[in-house]
Chains A and B, each alone.
Chain A
Amino acid sequence: MDIIFSSVAQGLLWAILAIGVFMTYRVLDIADLSAEGTFPLGAAVGVTLIVQGVPPVAATILAMVAGMLAGLIAGFLHTKMKIPALLTGILMLTGLYSVNLRVLSNRANLSLAGQSTLMRTLQAAGISRLASTAIVGTIAVGLVVVVLTWFFQTEVGLSLRATGNNEVMAEANSININLMKVLGYMLGNGLIALAGALIAQNNGYADVGMGTGTIVIGLASVIISEVLFRPKKIAWHLLVITIGSILYRLVIDLVLTLGVQPQDLKLFSAIVLALVLWLPEIKRLQGKEEDRSIK
């Protein structure tokens, strides 16, 4: 029971990563690997600031801003320098590895032992460790879902969605598609860095290697939610991604308790994602679903 509650609580934090991946992968229709660099960037910036005495809330917000700046650079590489999206992501995650080491003062990891975090602030009020994770996760996901739902209904939000959905149509309607892509990159990577900062606080440390596999986790959560719930409205989509993220966490925690060794976990998560990505194709072959190919 505790394991399930733990998976749910952690899944809420990871949901923010998944929503960030959703921004680029689904809304913009760009497979952005920058996540592998911006997730630890958020963690490194958040943890470093906390260690330097910045209050956890401010450190978390600044971590998100750092992610948005990384997104700005990724957007510049892709739209102005016309570097293909996949290569843009590879350049970003490679470059950010050094940046993250710098942020961590040339160390591979930095501990939050003895420091205040969002979760520990709640624990000081007598709330259990798991409950503090769940509360922080719920508030953060709630805020993100509410703000994004509002945003997608604004003029700019609609222009962003149109750009990802049909560039030619967007341009024919005088939308600045490059600007919209940069904005999407910034929002997506900002959210991914926010997730990094929250998860680092929950774990009690930032590690320069913690980005490996984040894109797989994010994509798996998004696809699980789509296969299970087939969301049509975007607000509902954001909510079910949260559920997808929790389910993914449950699967991972379950296999760990079943005896899969932690060093095999990345292989396992890659296999899980491959299977999940295969699902729409299986359904299509069975003639059950309209073609919604994975790009």
Chain B
Amino acid sequence: MTMLLSIENVNKAFGRGTIHENRVLRDFNLVLNTGDFVSVIGSNGTGKTTLMNCIAGSYGVDTGEIRLGDMVLNKQPARRRAKYIGRVFQNPSTGTASDLTIAENMAIAWRRGERSGLGRSVDAGLRAMFKERLEFLGLGLEDRLDVPVRYLSGGQRQALSLLMATLRRPKLLLLDEHTASLDPNTSLQVMELTDRLVREYRQTTLMITHNMQNAIQYGNRLIMLHEGHVVADVSGAEKEGLTVPLLVEMFRRQANGDLPLSDKVVLTA
């Protein structure tokens, strides 16, 4: 196993030097190996999304180092990191451009990390390739290449976002509660699709979820954040044996009796 992502002693606070100072990530450490599919759970405000934003480059970190392979990411702006990191957001509207067509959205994902010139953005060759990729989703989107994305349902948009995020086989895929705003049925479909994509591409993936069942069911590793730290890291046979009640009990212990899970998590479990 080779190390892909390493986060070393990262600190990230908001409102530093004010009475509202909020230290979100505290001496945070995490290592992901190539091929890992890691679920991240933890209550609201515990630093999950901040972690994603620091990896993707939406925020800089205060101290510490984030490395991808042998590259130090700290100084690279988000758009440079996007060459190596694919991202799907919680809100289905965030990952796609609603006024552009499916083909145009995919063309933008296809150009990721490359220089744009005055060449035609969508040609017949690309359309054929996009169609083929869209067939993988099994949603019939391959016949709607020229439909603006705004006419797609939330689930369809998330499926398309997933496809776009993985189109260039990024080194790392970040999923930020990407099924949380979908209805239960659609959420299940998008989760199944995620699992298929990750398996087919052997895609190294970091997935935030509020759904404990999903966290247990998918991926080879599960980590739990609490107050800016990793408080549990479960993989292999131990993860295989996890159940929702076990997980709740484990976290209760880790956080010294303070149940570090929002009501929402327990309810969706």
Residues of A participating in the B interface, judged by any CB pair closer than 8 Å: 151, 153-159, 161-162, 165-166, 168-177, 232
Q: Which of A151, A161, A166 has the most CB of B within 10 A?
A: A166
Q: Which A residues touch B122, using CB under 8 A?
A: 153, 158
- Kindly state the separation between the CA atoms of A170 and B113 in the bound complex, as whole angstroms: 12
Q: What 5 A-B pairs have minimum CB-CB distances, sorted nearest first? A: A174-B82, A155-B116, A165-B97, A158-B121, A166-B97
Contact A155 B100 (CB under 8 A): no
Contacts A166-B93, A173-B108, A174-B112 given; 7 further ones with Cβ under 8 A? A155-B120, A157-B121, A158-B100, A161-B99, A162-B105, A165-B97, A169-B94
Residues of B participating in the A interface, judged by any CB pair closer than 8 Å: 56, 78-80, 82-83, 87, 89, 93-100, 104-105, 107-109, 111-113, 116-122, 148, 164-165
- Kindly state the separation between the CA atoms of A171 and B164 in the bound complex, as whole angstroms: 13
Number of A-B contacts (CB under 8 A): 87
- Kindly state the separation between the CA atoms of A166 and B97 in the bound complex, as whole angstroms: 5
What is the chain A residue whose CB lies nearest that of B94? Answer: A168
- The verdict on A174 contacting B113 (CB below 8 Å), with A156-B118, A162-B108 known, is yes
Contact A166 B116 (CB under 8 A): no
- The verdict on A158 contacting B96 (CB below 8 Å), with A153-B120, A173-B82, A232-B148 known, is no
- Kindly state the separation between the CA atoms of A91 and B30 in the bound complex, as whole angstroms: 47
CB-contact partner of A174 in B80, B94, B99, B104, under 8 A: B80
Q: Which A residues touch B78, using CB under 8 A?
A: 171-172
What is the chain A residue whose CB lies nearest that of B119? Answer: A155
CB<8 Å pairs between A and B, sample of 27: A153-B122, A154-B116, A154-B119, A155-B117, A155-B118, A155-B119, A156-B116, A157-B121, A158-B116, A161-B99, A162-B100, A165-B97, A165-B99, A166-B97, A166-B98, A169-B96, A171-B78, A171-B79, A172-B56, A172-B82, A172-B87, A173-B109, A173-B112, A173-B164, A174-B80, A174-B83, A174-B111
- Kindly state the separation between the CA atoms of A159 and B97 in the bound complex, as whole angstroms: 11
- Kindly state the separation between the CA atoms of A5 and B93 in the bound complex, as whole angstroms: 46
CB-contact partner of B116 in A159, A165, A177, A232, under 8 A: A159
Q: Which B residues touch A172, using CB under 8 A?
A: 56, 78, 82, 87, 95, 165
CB distance from A147 to the nearest CB of B (A): 11
CB-contact partner of B97 in A151, A156, A161, A232, under 8 A: A161
Contact A154 B108 (CB under 8 A): no
CB distance from B179 to the nearest CB of A (A): 18
Contact B118 A170 (CB under 8 A): no
CB-contact partner of A177 in B79, B83, B99, B119, under 8 A: B79
CB-contact partner of A175 in B56, B79, B87, B99, under 8 A: B79
CB distance from B90 to the nearest CB of A (A): 12
Q: Which B residues touch A159, using CB under 8 A?
A: 108, 111, 116
